[in-house]
Structure 1
Amino acid sequence: MRLPRGPVLATAVTLLLAPAGCGSPTAPPPADDPSPTVAAAAAATTASPTGRRAFTLVATGDVLPHTEIIRQAAEDAGGTGYDFRPMFADVKPLISGADLAICHMETVYGADGGPFTGYPAFKSPPQVAAALKDAGYTACDTASNHTLDDGPEGIRRTLDAMDAVGLAHTGSARDEAEAGKPALLRAGGATVAHLAYTYGTNGIPLPAGRPWAVNLIDRDRILADARAARADGADLVVVSVHWGTEWQDAPNDQQLTLARELAAGQGGGRSDVDLILGTHAHIPQAYERINDTWTVYGLGDQLAGHMFTYDGAEDPRGNWSSIARFTFAPPATRGQRWTVAKAEFVPQATDLGPPYRVLDLRGAVRRNPGRADYARAVEHIRSTVLSRGAAAAGLTMAP
């Protein structure tokens, strides 16, 4: 991939874990995120005859701390350690307002005190995990082409940091037993199994004796893992996949084929996979409902520095993304399946400032009516997300 220019950052730090807080799903919505209709709000809080209730799940794209993002975190910490919380402050109300929130942590973490590096071999400050937890995330997928940038130790440090702040994780593993388990998340009385896989690791071989260190995309394995999760009691299965062609708006053949195979039910029934969340392309891609399975081909980069395409040109699309938000409704009777009652997306961007900040573009446009770049980003995200007929299937941009 072609990523930001600039020197590698190597700085000694003190580990400062931010308070781990997650907003209540019953908290009032922020001013920039108006409530849904009264009927929809009532449905989301009313228990079904089975004693379960509807819940919301949000998912966001690649967290990719380049050198300038790491510098910004050092500045925001006032010269003592690193603080990534201010970068997520604008989207925190939306993230923490969901019952479940899933991120994609593309990079691994360095040791306490550094050194920390950006492209091409990333080692991010472990304080990123604390900021993600503070923003309201429940879990993060850790399978990407950068998962092996610092070998098994990078994986261990990353998952240890997530454990320390209470973030669930899936996609990479410290041992074989961990590799065989999905992250199990709970909301509305449902158990949600989260699985994650990547197309590759930038040519870095799997560590000797650790073929399970990171999950690689394999259709049969994904289907078997989803089937096993459901057999073990999962009500819903969410699959995160690091795939696609960088800088290509449209999903490639692998994405289209794999999505259809994962969404195909067996024997006329529903697929074991309820939701597919794609990352890696660096830019927003389409959403599509395939049978009863919603697929997000590419969420885009949630947090990234200046992004350059292969010809060396800076491309603003590398800082644009969408937030997926799905409301799942409980079955009327036991034995039936949960269904998506509402499908939404929210346009999002990393504003390159300075300072660098992740913005909910709906509010940013309202607050800054003269910013043509914000309006242009919203329109591009909207047209791309809806480019495969998702509007006809019920997907809307959240007001």
Structure 2
Amino acid sequence: MSASTRYAAVALVAALAVGCGGPPSSTPHPAPHSARQPFAKAKPRGEAGAAMTKDVRPFTLVAGGDIIPSSPDVLETARSDAMGTGYDYRPMLAGVKSVVFGADLALCHLGAPLGPLTGPFTGYPVYQAPPQLATALKATGYDSCSTASSHVLDQGVPGVSRTLEAMDTVGLRHVGSGRDAAEGARPALLRADGGARVAHLAYTYGTDQKRRPASAPWTVNLINARKIIADARAARRAGADVVVVSPHWGAEYRTAPSEEQLRLARALTASTTGGRPDIDLILGSHAQTPQPYEKVNGTWVVYGLGDQVSGAMRRPEGNWGTLARFRFAPPDRAGQRWKVTRAQYIPQLAELGPPLRVRNLARTAGHRDVRTAIRKAVLGRGARAEGLRMGR
């Protein structure tokens, strides 16, 4: 990184921090996005710079649901929490930070493009959110975020670029959209503390406001079973121990997965190479409400995580969500599958307030009716018999 590029990156980091409302002096590119190192180290859990042990160790992966950051009441809360100078989403997410930051790897799903620091910021049907959200996601403990959503192209190709630049600046990995063909085709490659190599891939059923431009198809990955399997196999050849797929799919406000979701889940989990499954975990978004967790062909599928950050929605269920937490253990022999040894869901609620706050419902006696409804949805396809439990 050149000195001038490093200065620009530092300038944007400062601007994305709470209390900075002015635009940066130049456009940042912390590193050429076509030349990043594979399997970048996630957030450190031990002493900084500690040497990697020779033998890989088990790791815990956490995933959160849709983040819809520019609904009017979400924007108002973030502006108020920043004391009127910019936008601060960190207090909103503080209630789940211990779960997210406590994981070895944490994955999020961004449901809106990020705009310039000067705005304007808009809600449904054409989203544009403050770039300070990237700072909050990183501070909460997220390592990689799926950006393949139905609203990824709400601000066109420039919106894709702005979103990924903001995420790059704060060190948040991303997958599902791209600024060029190489980036669009590449998974987020992560290394968990303990040495496990994890590939994160993401796709969407389509886009609501604008079609993917024919001249730039890499701007967003669309769901196609053959392509997903081919990408998963490529990630495995690149050295991935665990391959995670985040599909943006299903019908909104519907607890039961659609036939399309069920069919795709069966196809993806049935795909193997040399007797080893090509995909190790599926984490769905878009339904706006929690959907069942289910083991399909021996692989955990979360049909819908629900929403993590959301404002007033068409139905109360739109403020319900889950955090999925899976513990992976290494195989006895190289080349075999990593096994999920513990599967948990953590119910959560975007409590509208004001102020709007994301609550971990496993750590409060309140909202018993919501917690019960989430449990019923999550366990609706027999996950309890497969060992799924509520975590804290």
TM range (shorter): 0.7 to 0.9
User: Is 2:346 aligned against 1:342?
Assistant: no
RMSD: 1.9
Secondary structure at the counterpart of residue 95 of structure 1: helix
Secondary structure at the counterpart of residue 189 of structure 1: coil
Q: Which residue of 1 aligns with 2:61?
A: 57
Q: Distance in 2 between matches of 1:203 and 1:83?
A: 27
The structural deviation recorded for 1:17 is 2.2
Q: Distance in 1 between matches of 2:214 and 2:266?
A: 34
Q: Which residue of 2 aligns with 1:228?
A: 234
Q: Which residue of 2 aligns with 1:189?
A: 195
Q: Which residue of 2 aligns with 1:135?
A: 140
Q: Which residue of 2 aligns with 1:125?
A: 130
Per-residue deviation, residues 96-131 of structure 1 (Å, max 9, x unmatched): 000000000010011121111011100000000000
| Aligned match for 2:313, one of 286, 301, 307 | 307
| Aligned match for 1:211, one of 210, 214, 217 | 217
The structural deviation recorded for 1:248 is 0.7
Q: What TM-score, normalized to structure 2?
A: 0.86
Q: Within 5 A, what are the aligned runs for 1:136-175?
A: 136-175=141-180
The structural deviation recorded for 1:267 is 7.1
Secondary structure at the counterpart of residue 392 of structure 1: helix
The structural deviation recorded for 1:25 is 4.2
Secondary structure at the counterpart of residue 279 of structure 1: coil
Q: What TM-score, normalized to structure 1?
A: 0.85
User: Is 2:99 aligned against 1:106?
Assistant: no
Secondary structure at the counterpart of residue 237 of structure 1: strand
Q: Distance in 2 between matches of 1:25 and 1:323?
A: 20
Secondary structure at the counterpart of residue 89 of structure 1: helix
Per-residue deviation, residues 316-373 of structure 1 (Å, max 9, x unmatched): 11000110000000112222221101101100110000100011111232xxxxx4xx
Per-residue deviation, residues 258-277 of structure 1 (Å, max 9, x unmatched): 00000003378232000000
Alpha carbons 1:26, 1:97 under 8 Å: kept = no
Letter in 2 for 1:377: V
Q: Distance in 2 between matches of 1:364 and 1:356?
A: 16
The structural deviation recorded for 1:202 is 1.0
Q: Which residue of 2 aligns with 1:44?
A: none
Q: Distance in 2 between matches of 1:270 and 1:307?
A: 42
Secondary structure at the counterpart of residue 302 of structure 1: strand
Alpha carbons 1:18, 1:131 under 8 Å: kept = no
Q: Which residue of 2 aligns with 1:274?
A: 280
What stretches of structure 2 of length at least 5 have no aligned partner? 1-13, 20-41
Letter in 1 for 2:354: P
Per-residue deviation, residues 215-245 of structure 1 (Å, max 9, x unmatched): 0000000000001110111111000000001
Letter in 1 for 2:91: P
Letter in 1 for 2:186: K
Q: Which residue of 2 aligns with 1:396?
A: 389
Alpha carbons 1:351, 1:359 under 8 Å: kept = yes
Q: Which residue of 1 aligns with 2:7?
A: none
Q: Which residue of 2 aligns with 1:75?
A: 80
Q: Distance in 1 between matches of 2:373 and 2:380?
A: 10
Letter in 2 for 1:307: M
Alpha carbons 1:67, 1:119 under 8 Å: kept = no
Q: Within 5 A, what are the aligned runs for 1:279-290?
A: 279-290=285-296
Alpha carbons 1:320, 1:350 under 8 Å: kept = yes
Per-residue deviation, residues 28-48 of structure 1 (Å, max 9, x unmatched): xxxxxxxxxxxxxxxxxxx99
Alpha carbons 1:305, 1:352 under 8 Å: kept = yes
| 194 and 388 in structure 1: CA distance in 2 versus 1, 3 angstrom threshold | same
Q: Within 5 A, what are the aligned runs for 1:354-365?
A: 354-365=354-365
Q: Distance in 2 between matches of 1:182 and 1:79?
A: 37
Q: Within 5 A, what are the aligned runs for 1:321-340?
A: 321-340=321-340
Alpha carbons 2:18, 2:82 under 8 Å: kept = no
Secondary structure at the counterpart of residue 331 of structure 1: coil
Secondary structure at the counterpart of residue 145 of structure 2: strand
Q: Distance in 1 between matches of 2:97 and 2:280?
A: 26
Out of 67-76 and 203-212, give the one that drifted further. 203-212
| 337 and 268 in structure 1: CA distance in 2 versus 1, 3 angstrom threshold | closer
Q: Report how many residues are paired.
A: 351
Q: Distance in 2 between matches of 1:166 and 1:58?
A: 18
Q: Distance in 2 between matches of 1:106 and 1:217?
A: 16
Secondary structure at the counterpart of residue 384 of structure 2: coil
Letter in 2 for 1:319: N
Alpha carbons 2:277, 2:337 under 8 Å: kept = no
Alpha carbons 1:274, 1:292 under 8 Å: kept = no
| 157 and 52 in structure 1: CA distance in 2 versus 1, 3 angstrom threshold | same
The structural deviation recorded for 1:15 is 3.6
Q: Which residue of 1 aligns with 2:375?
A: 382
Q: Distance in 2 between matches of 1:326 and 1:266?
A: 21
Secondary structure at the counterpart of residue 362 of structure 2: helix
Secondary structure at the counterpart of residue 362 of structure 1: helix
Q: Which residue of 2 aligns with 1:42?
A: none
Q: Distance in 1 between matches of 2:63 and 2:335?
A: 27
The structural deviation recorded for 1:23 is 7.0
Q: Which residue of 1 aligns with 2:4?
A: none
| 24 and 380 in structure 1: CA distance in 2 versus 1, 3 angstrom threshold | farther
Q: Distance in 2 between matches of 1:307 and 1:335?
A: 45
Q: Which residue of 2 aligns with 1:318?
A: 318
